[in-house]
Structure 1
Amino acid sequence: MWRNNSFVSRGGIWVLAQVPLMLLAFIVPIRFGAGQIIPLHPLAWLGALVTVAGGALIIWGFVSLGDALTPFPRPLDGVTLHRQGAFRLMRHPIYTGVILASLGWTLWWLCGIGMLPVLALAIFFDRKAAYEENWLREKYRDYGDYARRVKKFIPGVY
Structure 2
Amino acid sequence: MTPTEHRWNARGEGYVAAQVLLLAGIAALPRLSPAARPPAAVRRTGLLLLTLGGALAGWSGLRLGPNLTPLPEPRPDGQLVQTGPYALARHPIYGGLLLASLGWALAHGHRGALGLSGGLALLFDFKARDEERRLVRHFPEYPAYRQRVRRFIPGMY
Distance 1:85 1:35 in 2: 37
Q: Which residue of 2 aligns with 1:10?
A: 11
Alignment-derived partner of residue 85 in structure 1: 84
Distance of 2:74 and 2:50 partners within structure 1: 28
Tell me how far 1:121 sits from its aligned partner: 0.3
Q: Structure 2 matches for 1:15-26, cutoff 5 A?
A: 15-26=16-27
Amino acid at match of 2:46: G
1:81, 1:73 → 2: CA distance? 13
Residues of 1 paired with 2:156 and 2:30: CA distance? 28
The aligned amino acid for 1:15 is V
When the two structures are superposed, what TM-score results if normalisation uses the length of structure 2?
0.89
Aligned alpha-carbon RMSD (Å): 1.6
The equivalent residue for 2:117 is 118
Larger fraction in helix: 2
Any idea what SS the aligned residue of 2:62 has? helix
Q: How many pairs align? A: 150
Deviation (angstroms), 1:7: 5.4
Check 1:67–1:7 CA distance in 2 against 1; reply closer, same or farther (3 A cut). Answer: farther
The answer as to 2:41 corresponding to 1:42 is yes
Aligned to 2:104: 105
SS in 1 for 2:154: coil
The alpha carbon displacement at 1:12 in A equals 1.4
Amino acid in the other structure paired with 1:34: A
What percent of counterpart residues are identical? Answer: 38
Partner of 2:155: 156
TM-score relative to the length of structure 1: 0.88
Q: Could you list the per-position Cα deviations for residues 34-89 of structure 1 after superposition, in whole angstroms to 9, with x for gaps in the alignment?
A: 238xxx71210110111010100110111110110111110001121110111011
Query: What stretches of structure 1 move > 4 A for 4+ residues in a row?
Result: none
**Paired AA for residue 35 in structure 2:** G
